[in-house]
Amino acid sequence: SPGTGPVSLLGLVTGFRTFSSGIGDGNATFYTIADQSGNNWEVGVGTYTASGSTLTRSSVIASSNSGALVNFSTGTQTVFCDFPANQVVVLGQANATLLGYNMP
């Protein structure tokens, strides 16, 4: 979907699972969206909605638009679940530290 609103998910790439089967209705996930040129991209947290098969973008972690929502043009974008490196749990000698964004 063009703009900065919810993304309409069109279908499955061979060899991968759908958002419906992998994430489930109403659940939040990390995602990446990239246009076909690779020049415009966004990594964030969004919520999948089975009705209409949409991903609502709620928080941007990083993007080609200085960390803001990317205004994608018409055409097909690539959308997939991601696990950003700054979300990794790092185990120290004394305790664990969570880096980055906490999921809602």
List, as one string, the DSSP characters of 33-87.
Answer: EEETTSSSEEEEEEEEETTTTEEEEEEEEEETTTTS---B-SS-EEEEE---GGG
* Confidence at residue 47, expressed as pLDDT on a 0 to 100 scale: 97
Tokens of 19: 């958002």
First and final CA of the chain: distance in angstroms?
A: 24
* Confidence at residue 8, expressed as pLDDT on a 0 to 100 scale: 93
pTM for this model (two decimals): 0.82
- Span 84-100, mean pLDDT? 64
* Confidence at residue 86, expressed as pLDDT on a 0 to 100 scale: 76
C-beta separation of 45 from 58 below 8 A: yes
Residues in the chain: 104
**pLDDT of 44 strictly over 90:** yes
C-beta separation of 82 from 31 below 8 A: yes
- Residue 13's pLDDT band, with cuts at 50, 70 and 90, is confident
Each residue of 56-81: pLDDT tens digit?
Answer: 999 999 999 999 999 998 888 999 99
